[in-house]
Structure 1
């Protein structure tokens, strides 16, 4: 199939593109032209500003695609600028589990119904959850829901995570820097970068209508992350209300997501415990090297 990937040159976009290439797809990458990646195969490329409808129209004129994977849909106007200038049989949007309104365990896709959300044509907002809700809803102005897939992930972690969220804990323990954690016993789900990319690629060949959650099986408490890092480093974390605010503050309940829908199309996610501690070891090693 001919697949247009909007974004995809860093983090879990790289294993996603590599999986598409491995499956034999004809892949075109659309970027602003500032980033390049070493993919495991040949890809075509186009350059445009995804916030500029005219720029997209010029770049994609005469091109046709079976599938569009939109990895950087950050607002309804982003989606409008793209989909008013290109057609496809299936549109896969990288959304977010932040579209859900309440934190709790085993959140299901139907807890946020895309078509019921009131659409506002807006640029990227400081309110990230609302931005992503609008981005999902905007797609339905151009395509049937049966032709759209909205991939909802929790926090994505991995060796190439440029945000440094997991490493925050390791670095603070190693350096003896105080950190503020609002609830050490709050548990949450994650997904590994490789699986995050590969699942989206899987969806190109295994259509899934509407929203679909993706995350590793199981949850981990912040206290478990800290305990493991303390033992590996040989130091005790300094917890202080005046310390640096930890990345995962603000949860109101255990946060996990039901993946029955993904399993229904044949995809089984890994267990969180199979990789999270190895990733913490990697964070520790990087801290030593740095």
Structure 2
């Protein structure tokens, strides 16, 4: 069924693929951004330029708007969530917030099994309204707590029909602004050891196609609340490194970090940090296995990095 859909964000990483897939399904898509990142959607989308952290501007832009579905990919703090509540309450049929596995970060080592949605009681999460959530210097260290408190604000208020997608670590061959998987491949290419913690905990992953598939499913379904999104089969940082080395025909060099060292690799945890996807399965969604796509993704990214390096040499 044709829907009127708003995406807050949508011009970076898997957001671009989400826009394209929604358009291919025949939906009417509006993207709301600050207008700083160009896109190639042409006349296929409507564009609204607004800072989602400017409450006054948000009220002005969306004063007369209503949507069947909103995908909010830019809700990073309780302040962002409060604005969404005041702007969209009563105006949307379904509100899907992109959250993260990082909401569970404080439970690492305390819960000795894959993490479930009900391990976080959002009704009991305290909201820190005085914290400087919009300080860019604090963005990295505030990310996990900001997402958790944003989820809590939305649930505790109750004015929006909210789904929060707790997304595992997303791996991609291109357009991944985090550069985390690329850093692993470069480490292997350069014959350098991977710095790792002694615990070598396993964590959860998704690829771009899988996360977009899951977002489309969540937008079309009728359940509410948080849901974990992760492919089947978790990996530790050393296992990911060894997988890459095997695919590239290189040795997998590993170095256990000494006490006090902080230069560890992405996705490296002292304890297991994986998510349980039983709720998604019970709601009818089946994830692929990480083994089904990881090796091809590694080779695709390796080829892309080589092409970029070659182009740079001849530029």
TM-score by length of 2: 0.83
Residue 130, structure 1, aligned to residue 149, structure 2? no
Aligned residue pairs total 288
3-state SS, counterpart of residue 74 of structure 2: coil
Q: 1:63 to 1:243 in 2, by over 3 A?
A: closer
Residue 271 of structure 1 aligns with which residue? Answer: 289
RMSD: 2.3
Residue 214, structure 1, aligned to residue 222, structure 2? no
3-state SS, counterpart of residue 30 of structure 1: strand
Q: Residues 36-69 of structure 1: CA distance to partner in whole angstroms, max 9, x if unpaired?
A: 3334982111110111101111211211112221
Structure 2 unmatched runs, 5+: 310-315
Task: Name whichever structure is richer in helix by fraction.
Answer: 2
Q: 1:174 to 1:244 in 2, by over 3 A?
A: farther
Q: 1:265 to 1:150 in 2, by over 3 A?
A: same
Structure 1 unmatched runs, 5+: none
Distance 2:7 2:222 in 1: 16
Distance 1:112 1:244 in 2: 29
Q: Is the CA contact (8 Å cut-off) linking 1:158 and 1:192 kept in structure 2?
A: yes
3-state SS, counterpart of residue 165 of structure 2: strand
TM-score by length of 1: 0.90
Residue 94, structure 1, aligned to residue 98, structure 2? yes
- Range with greater deviation from structure 2 (28-37 or 78-87): 78-87
3-state SS, counterpart of residue 92 of structure 2: coil
Distance 2:122 2:165 in 1: 12
Residue 182 of structure 2 aligns with which residue? Answer: 167
Q: Is the CA contact (8 Å cut-off) linking 2:122 and 2:152 kept in structure 1?
A: yes
The Cα shift of 1:132 comes to 0.8
Distance 1:253 1:185 in 2: 7
Q: Is the CA contact (8 Å cut-off) linking 1:21 and 1:40 kept in structure 2?
A: no
Q: Residues 215-267 of structure 1: CA distance to partner in whole angstroms, max 9, x if unpaired?
A: 10111233332223223434334444479531123x23222212122122322
The Cα shift of 1:109 comes to 0.7
Could you tell me which of 257, 265, 274 is aligned with 1:246?
Answer: 265
1:87-236 to 2 correspondence within 5 Å? 87-100=91-104, 101-103=106-108, 104-121=112-129, 122=131, 123-124=133-134, 126-140=141-155, 142-144=157-159, 147-159=161-173, 160-183=175-198, 185-236=200-251
